[in-house]
A and B are shown apart, each in its own frame.
Chain A
Amino acid sequence: MTLTAERTRGPAAGRRGRPGRSRQGRETLLLMLPALIPVLIFSVGPLLYGIYLAFTDARSGRNSVTSFVGLSNFGDLLTDGDFWASFRIGLIWAVSVTVLQFVAALGLALLLNENLRFRAFTRVLAMVPWAMPPVVIGLMWRLVYHPNAGILNSTLQGVGLLDHNVDWLNDFSIALPAVIVVGIWTGMPQTTVVLLAGLQGVPRELHEAGHVDGATTWRRFWSITLPQLRPVIVTITSLDFVWNINQFGLVYVLTQGGPGGQTRLPMLFAYEEAFRYGFFGYAATLGVAIVIVVLAVLGIYIGRQMREVS
């Protein structure tokens, strides 16, 4: 147990008694450099340019002239009721998918980490949603949810859970939960693999120490495994959240934002604004707004998690 307590103070403890700062600085630069080169060439430039657009009235087209408009796009944004309505849907979507996916994936990762039979085989099967080409995923789920030829309705009626066909993707109150299930399904393998790898990074001796203490499985999980896993959990849940906020293609294939706008995700707005209507400037503003909100949410979340660790 002492080892755990000591370890969790890791990052903070690292500050004391390190050799000279300049040496560390040089080392940092050296270690970062290989990754920095492609990032500087291919990512930073386009990204800064994209952010810059948010302050212009850029439109697509050969005849368009762009001028700097300062914060006026942001003013428009504040009164854009459609966007905020969709932002609310986007938050419901991203939070529920992230949370439910995390819980489900943690359960699966724990099972796959147990010494069960067919472990290698089940681990591979758990990767199916990830390995399937995205182009068939939406198609397949549409057939699963098909109101009269779908396997979901026929299976549920077969086991007596339903007595009539449900129109999953077109019912005003069921459509969003139905696409959330698909969201959970699609992202589970990534989360599971990451958590599994994290579980296996938990040094065995910690568990053995727990065994000696005579702690119950649940207690061991709660007081040893979970704290040990915390950095990985924070990492993957924050990334999942970001990806889910960014998602719209899958949902678009399933419902095209319908019924009645119930599943219109905010990124669909940004996409249509730029690629369909050609308002690059305003689309970039939407992007920047989403970035700000997401970073604020993540900042609070990561900050709190990190503070609890130390």
Chain B
Amino acid sequence: MRRPLQYLALLGYMVFLAFPLLWLLSTALKTSQEMASLTPTWIPRHPVLTNFADAFTEQDIVGSALRSLVVAVASSVLTVVLALPAAYSMARHRSLVNKIAIGWVLVSQVFPFILIIIPLFMVLRSLDLVNTLPGLTVVHVTFTLPFALWMLQGYVRSVPRELEEAAAVDGAGRIRALVKIVAPLLAPGVVATLLFAFISSWNEFLFALVVLKDPDVATLPLTLVKFTGAEGVVRLGPLAAASLLATIPSLAFFAIIQRRLRSGLLAGAVKG
């Protein structure tokens, strides 16, 4: 039968992809002695909560997580709102602007961003955006836009143009055709893009490091790094505890919006 094989394959994928979550949990509950054992076990022999206590008392985990959340939500929503019309245009129209846009999308993704970071910083400073969350949001939007544009125009292309044109011809009007026919088919793509923008912003480190200089505006990735030392020596316990907590919002966000992935499918099926 196919089904058992499918379940087996799925299990294989899950073990490969998700074991680190279990590892993080197990590490976060271990004592320093146990972490340095030559024969590590998945289940801690003497589980402790001190790593969580250390992480929370020593660094502002909650505050920086909230700031990260604000930036991630703002930049993912903004990215999609800005990218969607442009992506539609890139996929459906042929014009010089679009060609230039595609060229820019690719070049901006390939060119080493380390060479861009210094002039970018100067632009931010002249706009008084250094050290502010809006500043970081703007940077994140700018750097997820190429991806979002590129992705979304791919999704728009995969929506049969005939469906859109047929509806418009039916007298539904162009805008209505877009809303009724194209939007539902596009919804999964939009959700995927939203997710991408959210997670990239949530985990983004280097721009945050450069833009946010004061500890009281630091985002979560900046806070996590404070548990690492020199030459790869780290404070593994608190780092694992804090990282575990940092992983959860992205997963929760995905758990919530992945329903949209499915309803997008349903909507697509209803329109025929």
Contacts and interface: CB of A to CB of B under 8 A. Distances in A.
B32 interface: no
Contact of A29 (B14, B92, B97, B163): B97
A65 interface: no
A134 B203 contact: yes
B147 A239 contact: yes
A35 B119 CA distance: 20
A49 B122 CA distance: 12
Given A44-B104, A193-B196, A242 B97 contact: no
Nearest to B121: A46
Given A47-B108, A151-B40, A10 B157 contact: yes
Given A35-B86, A131-B250, A197-B188, A111 B9 contact: yes
A41 B143 CA distance: 12
Interface string A42-85: 11111101110100000000000000000000000000000000
Contact of A124 (B24, B82, B239, B254): B254
Q: SS class of chain B's interface: helix, strand, loop or mixed?
A: helix
Interface of B: 3, 6-7, 9-10, 13-14, 16-18, 20-21, 23-24, 37-40, 81-83, 85-86, 88-89, 91-95, 97-98, 101, 104, 106-117, 119-120, 123-124, 138-139, 141-143, 145, 147, 149-151, 153-155, 157-163, 185-186, 188-189, 191-192, 195-196, 199, 203, 205, 220-221, 224-225, 228, 232, 234, 236, 239-240, 243, 246-248, 250-251, 254-255, 258-259, 261-262, 264-265, 268-269, 272
Contacts, number: 307
Given A10-B157, A13-B161, A124-B251, A47 B243 contact: no
Contacts of A194: 151, 192
Contacts of B199: 130-131
A295 B93 CA distance: 22
Nearest to A203: B268
Contacts of A41: 123
Interface in A117-142: 120, 122-137, 139-140, 142
Nearest to B259: A120
Given A42-B142, A116-B10, A135-B224, A10 B162 contact: yes
29 contacts: A15-B94, A28-B95, A31-B85, A32-B89, A38-B145, A39-B142, A42-B142, A47-B108, A53-B115, A107-B9, A116-B6, A116-B10, A120-B255, A124-B251, A126-B13, A126-B17, A128-B251, A132-B24, A140-B24, A149-B37, A203-B268, A205-B272, A235-B151, A270-B114, A271-B112, A274-B114, A283-B115, A287-B115, A291-B111
Contacts of A129: 17, 20
Nearest to A200: B265
A198 interface: yes
A116 B7 contact: yes
B104 A242 contact: no
A34 B85 contact: yes
Nearest to A287: B112
Given A13-B161, A128-B21, A274 B115 contact: yes
B18 A125 contact: yes
Q: SS class of chain A's interface: helix, strand, loop or mixed?
A: helix
B145 A39 contact: yes
Interface-centre pick from A43, A148, A284 (highest chain B CB count, 10 A): A43
B139 A42 contact: yes
Given A32-B97, A132-B243, A203-B272, A127 B89 contact: no
A233 to B, nearest CB: 9
A127 B251 contact: yes
A270 B113 CA distance: 10
A190 interface: yes
A9 to B, nearest CB: 9
B251 A131 contact: yes
Nearest to A235: B154
Contacts of A38: 82, 138, 141-142, 145
A189 interface: yes
B224 A200 contact: no
Contact of B268 (A148, A201, A236): A201
A119 B217 CA distance: 38
